[in-house]
Amino acid sequence: MSYTKPKIISIKDHPEYSEKWVQNIIADDPGVLGLGDLLLRDKERPQPRAGRLDLLLQDLETSKRYEVEIQLGSTDESHIIRTLEYWDIERKRYPQYDHCAVIIAEDITSRFLNVISLFNGSIPIVAIQMRALIVGESTTLVFSKVLDEITFGMVDEDEEIQQVTDRPYWENKGSKETMKMADKVFGIVKEINPDLEMKYNKYYIGISRNGTASNFILMKPRKSVLIIEFRLDKDDTVFAEFEEAGLDISNASRQGSYVVRLVKGQVEEHRELLAKYCQIAHDRMIL
């Protein structure tokens, strides 16, 4: 077995690599950061009177958003201020989500860690150090989390409570209003195949047939929105049709899956479009 010693290089001082290069690598595969199952929501996102946010990522399971800022070289005061400013703007614009600030830099100094650890817990923040390595003829990036977000639990979270995954569980996790939206979507599903049933799981509401999972769509009711994941083949026309209808759509991290976020009234308004892609997803599943 051969061994090749990697060589650490400075991206900041390298003539060929740049911050844009790093940004594109993360955008293509957000999982490299080690923050979970993430999808790209936006890149170079304009901020009101405050420049552009490098990357906006979102957790597929929880819908939590990560405001990511990249800096070549060492962290500095302006970097942390900019990161926190963008985090604050985004959380105020979209309060229905949880938000976390993420700082990525080649060198995160101990002084910098001491400063941001003072308010970590009050402000959710993650610091990630990146290293560019040359291995043989290839260049790779390694991301290491050096400061994790501190989450304070509720008083009763350490009690052993059995969570029940049924309709009341989802009415509490989401709301009765978004569960009614889920019922309407499932009404569309039943028209496709009357044998299909709702299946209440801990992290999503799935579809089953005769007790066997048939998850061509997944539903996740939240307090004010219903999230639907369609299991579809990768196709640019999917984006085009949903965006033209004015709906919020994004790629899921799974290849060929699409996530649509619906608010009150949109199930009825776009019933025909939703029925079309429920049918396509269903047919794809049974082929």
Task: Let me know if the fold of 7-147 is the same as that of 167-286.
Answer: no
Higher pLDDT, 130 or 160: 130
Cβ burial, residue 12 (10 Å; 0-12/13-18/19+): middle
The Cα 255–Cα 275 span in angstroms is 22
Greatest mean pLDDT among 2-6, 64-68, 77-81, 112-116 lies in: 64-68
The Cα 85–Cα 52 span in angstroms is 11
Answer yes or no: pTM beyond 0.75: no
pLDDT of residue 186: 96
- 154 dihedral zone (left: phi>0; alpha: psi -120 to 50; beta): beta
* CATH topology for the 7-147 domain: Trna Endonuclease; Chain: A, domain 1 (3.40.1350)
Any residues with CB less than 8 A from the CB of 202 and at least 6 apart, and which?
163, 165
Q: What is the domain partition of the chain in residue ranges?
A: 7-147, 167-286
The Cα 20–Cα 224 span in angstroms is 35
Q: Which residues on adjacent β-strands are paired with residue 141?
A: 132
Q: Which residues on adjacent β-strands are paired with residue 197?
A: 208
Question: Residue holding tokens 């009357």?
Answer: 194
Asked whether residue 156 carries a pLDDT value surpassing 80, the answer given is no
The pLDDT tens digits for 158-201 are 333 334 478 999 999 899 999 999 999 999 999 999 999 999 98
**CATH number for the segment(s) 167-286:** 3.90.1150.200
pLDDT of residue 95: 79
The Cα 129–Cα 131 span in angstroms is 7
Any residues with CB less than 8 A from the CB of 221 and at least 6 apart, and which?
170, 173, 174, 175, 178, 179, 181, 182, 205, 227
The pLDDT tens digits for 271-281 are 999 999 999 99
